[in-house]
Structure 1
């Protein structure tokens, strides 16, 4: 069992077997990262994967992977619309020198693969190194080096000032899901800044309840409790929650940088 869901495990097993056949001698292994690797995946989660290869897919191999992912979301079943991940070549995955290299990427529920850096991030590498689930192949910790703490912190420092503007490029703020996503993402950034580790959205919200100004507890509790609502494009944010989110964003961006590492709860809460 890779996840708590038998039907998701069946989808993943088929993905791994088919990708392995397509990649042939360039196939190394297949792994879970993201919320399921952190022990926090639920029915509202994406299922984040990484397939490691000896070389970036090209030619007939790339065409085969594109055909596979064009077909998967047309299948019946919830989890066929929830796969998100990349095909990462071993050389650029190994250490942080490979950050910024585009990988062949499957966006959540999309049928067209793109070359993108979405999964090629310090936090993805950290999750893989410390919590990655091996579905097939050698242990993932043998393929990914440790991520230096300051690399993680620098990425969070760079993301904080522009997070809201970045969200507006793809997430509609008239939808309640976006309001919750914004708050939890700020909490994850702050958690990593303080701990040089990565945790789930729930873990970051619970950490924030314990470590941030108590004035934010109503907002943080609202986001935690509303997680069960999932994605509904017709559902507006709760009254007042969007203004509170914008105020929280300004608060988070204005917090002083940590002087030293203060370890929070282990990732995956």
Structure 2
């Protein structure tokens, strides 16, 4: 058993078998990161994976992977539409020298693979190194060097002023989900800025409630309570919660200095 969900384990076993057959000798291993690795996954979580390879997939292998990931989201059940991950060559995966290298990426619910740096972050490496779940292959810690906590802090310090601008490129702020996600994202950035580590969404919110100005506790409690509502596009933010979120964002960004 890899996870607490039998149907997800079945899907992961099938994915590993299919990918092994496609990649052949270039397959190194398969791993879980994200919420599952951090021990905080539930039915609202994505299943974040990394497939390690000796070289980036290309040619026939890339074409076959594209067909596989085009088909997976069409399967019945919950998890086929909640898979997200990348095919990372072990050279660029090893350490921060590989940042900026695009990996073949499957976005949440998408049927297309794209070359993207979405998973190629210090954040992903830290989770894999400390908490990654090995599905197949060698222990993931053997493939990734230790991540410098100061490098983690520096990356969050640089990211903090851009959080809201980044969200506005893809998220709708007339949705309750976006209000909750925004507060959570700032909490996760602040947690890493303070500790040099990564926390799950809920743990970051709890940490913020414990360590930030008590003025924000009602907002943080609302986000924790409402997370169970999930993605409902027609649901507007609670009255006043969006203004509170914008104020919290300004407060959080003041820590960038």
How many residue pairs match? The answer is: 257
Q: Match for residue 141 of structure 1?
A: 141
- Distance, in Å, in 1 between the alignment partners of 2:232 and 2:2 is 27
Deviations 1:180-205 (A, max 9, x none): 11101100000000100001000100
Counterparts of 2:119 and 2:102 in 1: how far apart (Å)? Answer: 9
Which runs of no fewer than 5 residues in structure 2 stay unpaired?
Answer: none
Query: Which ranges of structure 1 fall in alignment gaps of 5 or more residues?
Result: 258-269
Instruction: Give the Å deviation of 1:4.
Output: 1.1
- Separation of aligned partners in 1, 2:60 and 2:98: 25
TM-score calculated relative to the size of structure 2: 0.99
1:106-255 equivalent positions in 2, closer than 5 A: 106-255=106-255
TM superposition shift of 1:255 = 2.4
Is this contact kept in 1: 2:160–2:256, CA < 8 A? no
Alignment partner of 1:2 is 2:5: no
TM-score, with length taken from structure 1: 0.94
Deviations 1:11-65 (A, max 9, x none): 1111111111111010000000000100000000010000000000000000010
Give me the CA root mean square deviation.
Answer: 0.8
1 CA distance for matches of 2:8 and 2:182? 27
Partner Cα distance (2:198, 2:254) in 1? 21
Q: Which moved further from structure 2: 10-19 or 123-132?
A: 10-19
Q: What secondary structure is seen at the aligned counterpart in 1 of 2:97?
A: helix
Match of 1:265 in 2: none
- Paired with 2:88 and 2:15, the residues of 1 have a C-alpha distance of 15
Give the superposition deviation at 1:256: 6.0
Aligned partner of residue 101 in structure 1, secondary structure: coil
Q: Deviations over 1:102-145 (max 9, x none)?
A: 00000000000000000000010000000000000000000011
| Structure 2 CA distance for aligned equivalents of residues 70 and 36 of structure 1 | 24
Contact 2:34 2:124 in 1 (8 A): yes
